């Protein structure tokens, strides 16, 4: 690592963390404590795996990082904003501006074209309809679906649906892309293609957190945060990520 890179990383840690969680605990009604005293910083342009067995708190963590849910205690900052200080309206605006979500089951609007799905994702962007269409088309080109814009979800393969979902998530140029088991519903070849796309977006500067129970997939990413019973038990950075060939999921 050269000096300028090192300096930039140090500054990023202090002032430029996209996500900063401190002492985050989440108790659900019914008595489950899903997260315990979690501290986590995600720096700009990181590609990180949040990995752990089923029930370890991964989705809960994603919901809290993405401001879909709040912690029972502890603090959450997103792109420098202390989330707990915001009204619901400001929080929705913050989320729309700063976070992109990708889910295992795609969550596309069934009757709408790929283009319309991505345009819809820009609904709260404040952009004109024409500009939203332009950006949506550009995002679909970027994920390799320039020739599928008028296709509806049932006319697309699983991998293509996930690429539409990724286009929708990145069209607004969020500060962080949160992907919850993005390859979980895909065959291994489509899963690898989706992971390759996430790597490309990261290489272009996107900050991405991939949630997975797949240790092999996690090991192929530059940083792994391991969760167990709601606690971070390891936070490791690979010297050099292994080749992407193992990134498949069932």
Tell me which residues touch ligand ADP (CB under 6 A): 28, 30, 32, 34, 52, 54-60
| Helices and strands counted in the chain (H then E) | 8, 10
Query: Which is nearer to ligand ADP, 46 or 181 (by Cβ)?
Result: 181
Residue 228 CB, nearest approach to ligand ADP (Å): 10
Query: Which is nearer to Mg ion, 121 or 182 (by Cβ)?
Result: 182
Among 20, 56, 59, 220, binds Mg ion (CB under 5 A): 59
Residue 227 CB, nearest approach to Mg ion (Å): 10
Task: State the DSSP code for 1.
Answer: -
Side by side, the strands of the sheet bearing 73-78 are 33-42, 19-27, 73-78, 81-82
- 31 interacts with, out of ligand ADP, Mg ion, none, CB within 5 to 8 A per kind: none
Gyration radius from the chain CA atoms: 18
Query: Which is nearer to ligand ADP, 55 or 222 (by Cβ)?
Result: 55
Measured torsion, CA atoms of residues 240, 46, 72, 25, in degrees rounded to the nearest 10: 20
Residue 211 CB, nearest approach to Mg ion (Å): 7
Residue 130 CB, nearest approach to Mg ion (Å): 38
Query: Which is nearer to ligand ADP, 32 or 233 (by Cβ)?
Result: 32
Residue 29 CB, nearest approach to ligand ADP (Å): 7
Which residues touch 178 (CB under 8 Å, ≥6 apart)?
Answer: 62, 65, 66, 99, 100, 101, 102, 208, 209, 211
- 28 interacts with, out of Mg ion, ligand ADP, none, CB within 5 to 8 A per kind: ligand ADP
> From CA 231, how far away is CA 250, in angstroms rounded?
26
Neighbours of 234 (CB within 10 A): 11
């Amino acid at each position: 690592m050269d000096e300028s890179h090192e300096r930039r990383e140090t500054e990023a840690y202090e002032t430029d963390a996209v996500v900063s969680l401190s002492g985050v605990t989440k108790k659900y009604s019914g008595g489950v404590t899903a997260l315990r005293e979690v501290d986590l910083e995600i720096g700009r342009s990181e590609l990180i795996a949040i990995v752990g067995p089923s029930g370890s708190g991964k989705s809960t963590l994603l919901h809290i990082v993405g401001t879909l849910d709040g912690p029972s205690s502890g603090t959450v900052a997103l792109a420098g904003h202390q989330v707990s200080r915001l009204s619901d309206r400001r929080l929705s605006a913050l989320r729309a501006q700063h976070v992109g979500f990708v889910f295992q089951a795609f969550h596309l609007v069934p009757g709408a074209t790929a283009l319309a799905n991505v345009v819809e994702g820009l609904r709260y962007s404040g952009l004109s309809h024409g500009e939203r269409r332009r950006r949506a088309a550009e995002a679909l080109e970027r994920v390799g679906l320039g020739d599928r814009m008028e296709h509806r979800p049932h006319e697309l393969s699983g991998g293509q649906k996930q690429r539409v979902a990724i286009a929708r998530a990145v069209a607004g140029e969020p500060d962080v892309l949160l992907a919850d088991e993005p390859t979980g519903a895909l065959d291994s070849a489509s899963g690898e293609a989706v992971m390759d796309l996430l790597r490309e977006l990261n290489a272009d500067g996107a900050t991405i957190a991939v949630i997975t129970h797949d240790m092999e997939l996690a090991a192929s990413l530059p940083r792994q945060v391991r969760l167990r019973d709601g606690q971070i038990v390891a936070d490791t950075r690979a010297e050099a990520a292994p080749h992407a060939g193992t990134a498949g999921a069932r």
